[in-house]
Amino acid sequence: MADRYLRFTGTAPGRFLTRRLGLPQPAALTRWSPERPALDGGLLHLTAGRSALDLAPVLARTGIAPAGSDRAAAVVLDASGVRDVEGLAEVHAALHPVVRSIATSGRVVVLGAPLDPADHHQAAAQQALEGFTRSLGKEIGRGRTVNLVRLGDAHAAESTLRFLLSPKSAYVSGQVIEVGSGDEPATPLDRNRPLAGRTALVTGAARGIGEAVAGTLARDGARVVVLDVPQAERDARRVADRLGGTALLLDITAADAGARIAEALPDGLDLLIHNAGITRDRRLVNMPAERWIPVLEVNLASVLRTTDALLKAGTLHRGGRIVATASIAGIAGNAGQTNYGASKAGIVGLVRSLAPRALAEHGVTVNAVAPGFIETKMTAAVPLFIREAGRRMNSLAQGGLPVDVAETTAWLAHPASGAVNGQVVRVCGQSLLGA
C-alpha cells in the first residue's frame, strides 16, 4: 500500500502544512538500483582520539570518493582511539560543524573499539559512543542514518563499511554492530556478484520478505532454493523460475524437515536463511493454546531443529552463513503478540548462544535481522491509525520495504562478512521502541 503521507510531505503544500503543525516530515529514501549503486556525493573521514586503525585503503574500496567542496554524502568518524571523557569532546568537535551539511539520505558511521574490561575509563568512553550514536540518529533527520561499528581490525570491517556507506542500508539506523577479526575469502570476489557459486536456501520465500531476500541473493550470484509449504507451490515455483533457482516444497515444522533438506541438497549449502514465520495475534487472556503453539513451532522450534540437523549432517559448508529473522517485537514487545514476541526473542537467544560455537566447530557464522514496520500485504491489512503509528514511530518516520531486509541479509551472507558473528541487526529505521 502506498504511503500517501510520505508523498504529501514531498509537495510544497505538504512541507508547509506539516512544518506548521509540527508533524513528521519524512524524506524519500535513496535505495540501491543498478542505475544508482552508490550515494550521491563524497566521503568525509574524521578522527577523534589517537587511532591505530589503517582505514585509508579500506575506505578507498567503498566506492565513495573523498568529499570535496560539495556536500558530503557520508561521514566516517574514527573514534576508536577515544579512551576518556576528554576524548569525547573531540567527538563533538569533529561532528558538530559538519552534521548540518550532510546530504539528504546521507550516512554517518562512527567507529569505536571493543570495551576494555581492564580500563573502566576507556569502557565508559566507548560505551558513551553508543548513546551518542543512537541519539544523533533520532535527531539528524532528512533520511540520514547513523550507526556505530565496534572493531579492532579495519580490513575485517570492509564489507560492513561498504554496506553502511551505500544505498543498500537505507532503513538501517541507530545500530551498534560488532566486527571481530576475520580473513578475506581466498578467492577474489566479483563485486557485482559476490555470491557466485554459492547455494542459498530461503524458507518462506514464496512471497513477501522471503521473496525479496531470494531475489537479492540471486542478484548477487547465488543459486537460490525457494522453500515453502506445499500450499504455496504455485508462488514458490513462480519465484524459483524467475530467479533461475529451484523450489523445495515441505512443511518446515515437520520433524524430518532437516533431513529432507539435506537429502534435497546432496552438494551442500552455503547460506541458510530462516525467514518463514506466522502470526496469530491475540492478547494473552484471550489466546488459546491453538494460537500459541503454531507460532512457536514455525518461528522458533523449526529454526532450532533444522539448524541443528543441517549442522550435524555437515550440509552447511565451512565459510557458510546462517541468517535468521527476529523482530523488534522480540526486543521491545508488542501488545497482542506474546506468542510472536516470545518466538522472535528466542531467535535472539539462539544467535547469541550458537554463533561462537558454530564458528569454532563448523566455520559458519550466525546472525539475525530484526525487521520493524515493513510495508507488506500483512501490514497493509492493519487498521489505518495503527498502521500510521507503525510507519511514523521511527527516526526515518516511514515504513521500510522488503528489500531493506533483503539487503541487510545479503550483507550478512557476504563471503567477506566472516568477522560479523552473533549480531542482531534491526531493520526498522531506528524504531522509537526498544533498544
Instruction: Tell me the sheet residues that pair with 201.
Output: 225, 272
- How confident is the model over 71-124, as pLDDT tens digits? 799 999 999 999 999 999 999 999 999 999 999 999 999 999 999 999 999 999
pLDDT tens track for 380-432: 777 777 788 889 999 999 999 999 999 999 999 999 999 999 999 999 999 98
Domain assignment present for 260: yes
Task: Report in angstroms the alpha-carbon separations of 263 from 248, 254, 260, 275, 379.
Answer: 11, 15, 5, 21, 36
Please indicate, yes or no, if residue 265 is contained in any of the structural domains: yes
- Over residues 243-263, mean pLDDT: 98
Looking at the fold, whether 241 and 151 belong to one and the same domain comes out as: no
Q: How are beta strands 424-427 and 176-179 bridged, if at all?
A: unpaired
In angstroms, the Cα distances linking 297 to 293, 325, 338, 347, 429 are: 6, 14, 14, 12, 29
pLDDT tens digits for range 32-61? 999 999 999 999 999 999 999 999 999 999
Catalytic residue among 340, 344, 416, 424: 340
Reply yes or no on whether 5 is catalytic: no
Domain that holds residue 298: 199-427
What is the pairing mode between strands 145-151 and 107-112? Answer: parallel
Domain boundary among 151, 179, 207: 179
Average pLDDT for 306-318: 98
Report the distance separating Cα 276 and Cα 325, nearest Å. Answer: 8
Regarding whether 205 and 122 lie in a shared domain, the answer is no
Do residues 273 and 139 both lie within one domain? Answer: no
Q: How many domains does the chain have?
A: 2
Helix (H) or strand (E) holding 107: strand 107-112
The runs of H, that is alpha helices, within 119-256 are 120-139, 158-164, 208-219, 233-243
pLDDT of residue 1: 63
Share of the chain above pLDDT 70, in %: 98
Q: Is residue 18 part of a domain?
A: no
**Do 151 and 233 sit in the same domain of this protein?**
no
Side-chain-side CA neighbours of 109 within 13 Å: the count stands at 27
Which residues does 132 contact at the CB level (< 8 Å), separation at least 6?
88, 91, 110
**pLDDT band at residue 23, thresholds of 50, 70 and 90?**
confident
Does residue 265 share a domain with residue 173? no
Can you tell me the mean pLDDT for 12-35?
A: 91
Residue 188 lies in a domain: no
Question: Half-sphere exposure (CA, 13 Å, Cβ side) for 148?
Answer: 23
Cell 540518529 -> residue: 137
For residue 374, give the DSSP letter: B
Whether residue 203 contacts residue 252, with contact meaning beta carbons closer than 8 Å, is answered with yes
> What is the average per-residue pLDDT within 291-305?
98
Beta bridge partners of 427: 371
- The sign of the CA dihedral 371, 372, 374, 379 is positive
The DSSP bridge partners found for residue 322 are 272, 366
Same-domain check for residues 337 and 395: yes
**Claim to verify: residue 210 and residue 138 sit in the same structural domain:** no
> Which candidate, 150, 78, 141, places its Cα nearest to that of 116?
150
Q: What's the confidence (pLDDT) of residue 182? A: 76
Q: Does 204 fall in a domain?
A: yes
- CA proximity to 275, closest of 240, 327, 234: 327
Do residues 203 and 345 share a domain? yes
Kindly indicate the confidence band of residue 253, based on its pLDDT and cuts at 50, 70 and 90: very high
What is the phi/psi pair of residue 123, to 5°?
-60, -40
Q: Look at the block and give the residue holding cell 548540518.
A: 100
All three cell numbers of 277? 514465520
Among the three residues 179, 209, 228, which one is the final residue of a domain in this structure?
179
Angle at 419 between CA 341 and CA 435, to 5 degrees: 30
Least confident of 215-219, 271-275, 291-295, 372-376: 372-376
Residue 329 placed within a domain:
yes
- 140 lies in a domain? yes
pLDDT of residue 70: 62
Cα three-residue angle 169-323-319, rounded to 5 degrees:
105
Instruction: Give a yes or no: residue 432 inside a domain.
Output: no
Least confident of 6-15, 74-83, 150-159, 199-208: 6-15
Is residue 381 located within the same domain as residue 316?
yes
Q: Are residues 289 and 384 in the same domain?
A: yes
d(CA 18, CA 13) in angstroms, rounded, equals 9
Q: What is the mean pLDDT of the chain?
A: 94
166, 245: one domain: no
Domain end (from 146, 179, 212): 179
The band of 160, judged by pLDDT with boundaries at 50, 70 and 90, is very high
Is the same domain home to 208 and 168? no
The enclosing domain of 415 has a CATH number of: 3.40.50.720
pLDDT(435) > 80: no
